[in-house]
């Protein structure tokens, strides 16, 4: 359960070490990539908690979502319309939904609901 | 229990990726976006103004030339006026309104760029004051040249006339309302040996050498010093009518 959070922290430390630098022009793409991967992380955790996790779905979902987000950003740049808002909106909404489900499942697990009498 | 479940590996890897990208993104933004944005418009404005100034300077030069030609055409063929014209030309030459050439010296003075690089690498605390050429240095050098009778002086091709300023502008200097950047090139017209000796034996030169500034000083048989290009204003002064 705590491994993903450990991974997140390790990633932050790796980022601090500046093993990767990206030109400022691609900051927008980077932002979308951050959202896509966060979305995948919480989506994965949620799927595990509700017992519906599937490796193929998880990994393919991560790569395809990121790819689609990049494409939207790129096309949006070309035609002068901020299409990546769509990706931000979807990923953002899903983050909240997934976190809500994770929260409820955890609450149920730690404080089991009392039987109605 | 010790074997990782497949979801743990996959989700952890993606989480690691997310954290990495997040920090790289933050770092990129902090490094580039913040300071540049606000300065862009100011830089643009400065560049626009400098372009306008250049245009005005060209206009001034053209008008002065037209005036010159007009005067010459009027005085031609009249002996009494030709004498006056000659005196006028002489006055303009002395006032710095005409380009001149002749023997002199070329003195260049640069910021201590190499020393600054070294200091940056060694990680010591940097006071830029110790590495930049200061307005006072240039002002004193020019003053020493004037004191021994340099007939014409330019600083980075800005003619030094009686109203010229040499003013600190942070990392640059201002002269005649124009921005000047290092390296600073002082050209002085006059007896080359005398000018060289004056600078070399003067206090400013010794100070610059002592503080390890990159300088060069060369005697030249022929240097060109451009005319003063900026406007001359005389708003409050009036000519005094002398008794004779």
pLDDT of residue B1: 46
Which structural domain, as residue segments, surrounds residue A86?
23-110
A39 within some domain: yes
Indicate the length of chain B as a whole number: 244
* Chain A touched by B30 (CB under 8 Å): no
Average pLDDT for runs of 10 along chain B of length 244: 72 86 79 59 80 87 86 76 82 89 93 85 82 91 92 93 90 88 91 92 90 90 91 85 69
Contact A24, B25 (CB under 8 A): no
pLDDT digits (tens, 9 = 90+) for A29-51: 888 888 888 898 888 888 888 88
Q: What is the mean pLDDT of residues A95-110?
A: 90
Residue B142's closest CA among B227, B193, B204? B204
Contact A87, A73 (CB under 8 A): yes
Measure A49 CA to nearest chain B CA, in Å. 11
* Chain B touched by A34 (CB under 8 Å): yes
pLDDT of residue B70: 84
A15 within some domain: no
What are the phi and psi torsion angles at B203 (to 5°)? Answer: -70, -30
Q: What is the mean pLDDT of residues A58-68?
A: 89
A3 within some domain: no
| Selected residue of B12, B36, B40 to mutate for chain A interface (largest A Cβ count, 10 A) | B12
Q: Answer whether residue A81 shows pLDDT above 90.
A: no
Pairing state between β B152-155 and B184-189? antiparallel
A51 within some domain: yes
pLDDT of residue B153: 94
Which residue shows structure tokens 């022009």?
A25
Which residues of chain B does A58 touch, with a Cβ-Cβ cutoff of 8 Å? Answer: 7, 10-11
Residue ranges of the alpha helices (H) in A26-80?
27-49, 55-79
What are the phi and psi torsion angles at A116 (to 5°)? Answer: -70, 140
Distance CA A10, CA A13 (A): 5
Residue B53: other Cβ atoms inside 10 A: 15
Asked if residue B183 has a cis previous peptide bond (ω within 30° of 0), the answer is yes
Interface predicted TM-score of the whole assembly (ipTM), two decimals: 0.76
pLDDT of residue B192: 93
- Share the mean pLDDT of chain B: 85
- Share the mean pLDDT of chain A: 85
A58 within some domain: yes
For residue B107, give the H/E element and its range: strand B100-109
Residue B113's closest CA among B97, B130, B100, B98? B130
pLDDT of residue B35: 54
CB contact under 8 A, A41 and B7: no
A62 within some domain: yes
CB contact under 8 A, B27 and A18: yes
A5 within some domain: no
Overall number of domains in chain A: 1
A85 within some domain: yes
Nearest CA in chain A to B34: A24
Which residue shows structure tokens 């599937």?
A54
- A residues 38-67 lying closer than 8 A (beta carbon) to B: 38, 40-41, 44-45, 47-48, 53, 55, 58-59, 62
User: Does the predicted model carry a pTM greater than 0.90?
Assistant: no
pLDDT of residue B147: 93
């Amino acid at each position: 359960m705590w491994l993903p959070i450990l991974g997140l922290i390790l990633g932050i430390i790796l980022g601090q070490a500046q093993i990767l630098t990206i030109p400022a022009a691609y900051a927008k793409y980077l932002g979308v990539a951050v959202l896509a991967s966060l979305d995948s992380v919480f989506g994965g955790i949620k799927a595990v908690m509700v017992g519906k996790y599937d490796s193929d779905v998880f990994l393919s979902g991560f790569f395809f979502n990121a790819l689609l987000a990049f494409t939207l950003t790129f096309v949006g740049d070309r035609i002068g319309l901020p299409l990546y808002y769509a990706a931000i909106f979807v990923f953002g909404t899903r983050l909240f939904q997934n976190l809500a489900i994770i929260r409820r499942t955890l609450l149920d697990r730690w404080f089991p609901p009392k039987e109605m009498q | 229990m010790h074997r990782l479940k497949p979801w743990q590996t996959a989700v952890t890897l993606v989480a690691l990726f997310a954290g990495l990208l997040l920090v790289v993104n933050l770092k990129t933004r902090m490094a580039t976006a913040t300071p540049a944005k606000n300065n862009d418009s100011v830089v643009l404005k400065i560049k626009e103004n400098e372009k306008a100034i250049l245009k005005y300077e060209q206009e001034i030069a053209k008008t002065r030339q037209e005036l010159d030609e007009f005067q010459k055409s009027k005085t031609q063929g009249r002996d009494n006026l030709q004498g006056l014209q000659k005196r006028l030309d002489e006055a303009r030459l002395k006032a710095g309104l005409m380009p001149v050439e002749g023997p002199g010296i070329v003195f260049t003075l640069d910021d201590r760029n190499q020393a600054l690089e070294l200091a940056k690498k060694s990680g010591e605390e940097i006071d830029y004051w110790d590495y930049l050429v200061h307005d006072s240095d240039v002002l004193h050098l020019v003053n020493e040249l004037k004191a021994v009778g340099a007939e014409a002086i330019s600083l980075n091709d800005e003619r030094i006339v009686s109203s010229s300023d040499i003013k600190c502008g942070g990392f640059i200097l201002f002269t005649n309302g124009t921005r000047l950047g290092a390296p600073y090139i002082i050209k002085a017209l006059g007896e080359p040996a005398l000018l060289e000796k004056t600078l070399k034996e003067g206090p400013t030169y010794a100070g610059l050498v002592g503080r390890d500034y990159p300088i060069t000083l060369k005697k030249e048989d022929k240097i060109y010093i451009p005319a003063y290009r900026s406007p001359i204003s005389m708003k409050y002064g009036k000519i005094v009518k002398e008794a004779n």
